[in-house]
Amino acid sequence: MEKLFAKTDFGKMGYWTGGQGKNLVLLHSLGVSAESWRPVMDALAGSFKVFALDLLGHGDSDKPPKHFLIEDYAQSIFQFMDHLKIDRAILCGTSVGALIAVEMAAFDPKRVERMILVGCPVRNPWERMERLVFSALTLDAQGLPRPITLSELGASFAHPTEELLQWFNQQRAKAGVWVKNLIIAIALYDAFPKFARVKCPTLVIYGNKDVLVGKERELVQRIKGARSVILPDAGHVAQMDQPQAFLKEVSQFLV
């Protein structure tokens, strides 16, 4: 895998790429970067042309020039695809990455071949506002992400360690104010009207220790033809907690 950069109207985007085959675009969760796909990137590159993106404001990508909504993130990824002459791709997103994938599939179905939603935050308006309040507790008085504790890390990962905690806090510090900005964008995004517009085959994945487990029933009801799987001993970022189990389910879905 090699790290490259692509231009969009909103700034340059960093991405890891490698492999051959159908195009597979990986979209990470809040506050981290494409590095969250490292446990599975090489294996996926054995069967696909992989593009693991740093969302704008995160990792090595530029900071957006304005407040960004989920719709803006989706358009930036379409521009990324245009830059690399990718007409159609399989999308795989974790958490907010899953919301961005949903927006892309609803906005332009012909460009999304298949979709994998990992830990997709399906929330009604009340739940979104409630989550916004709780997320504010992870920010300091300047709106910057404060270092979280090992016990707090357990909300996202099934097996928190000091090494994982250091990486997670470094990633959030690098994103800076864009952690807060993306938290707000998530709270403002209503995914429910979008689900009915998804036309591609969809796999829904949650870890059994994800606080959102149970939401898969709603996704399967709302996205025509979607199916779900629950990974044992995995949290919100399932591909990091249980990479082999994740790869098995994804490989079966994408054959």
DSSP string, 24-63: EEEE--TT--GGGGHHHHHHHHTTSEEEEE--TTSTTSPP
Q: Answer yes or no: is 140 within a domain.
A: no
pTM listed for this prediction? 0.97
The model's confidence at residue 211, banded by pLDDT at 50, 70 and 90, is very high
Beta bridge partners of 233: none
Question: Which residue range(s) make up the domain with 99?
Answer: 2-123+191-254
Dihedral (C-alpha) 7, 12, 18, 23: value to the nearest 10 degrees? -60
Tell me, what CATH number does 244's domain have?
Answer: 3.40.50.1820
pLDDT over 90, % of the chain: 98
List, edge to edge, every strand of the sheet that includes 112-118: 2-8, 11-18, 49-53, 23-27, 89-94, 112-118, 202-207, 227-231
Q: Answer yes or no: is 96 within a domain.
A: yes
The model's confidence at residue 255, banded by pLDDT at 50, 70 and 90, is confident
188 vs 131, 172, 225, CA distance in Å?
11, 21, 27
Query: What is the total count of domains within the chain?
Result: 1
- Residue 85's contacts (CB-CB under 8 Å, 6 or more residues apart) are none
- Residue 137's contacts (CB-CB under 8 Å, 6 or more residues apart) are none
Q: Answer yes or no: is 134 within a domain.
A: no
Q: Answer yes or no: is 90 within a domain.
A: yes
Q: Answer yes or no: is 217 within a domain.
A: yes
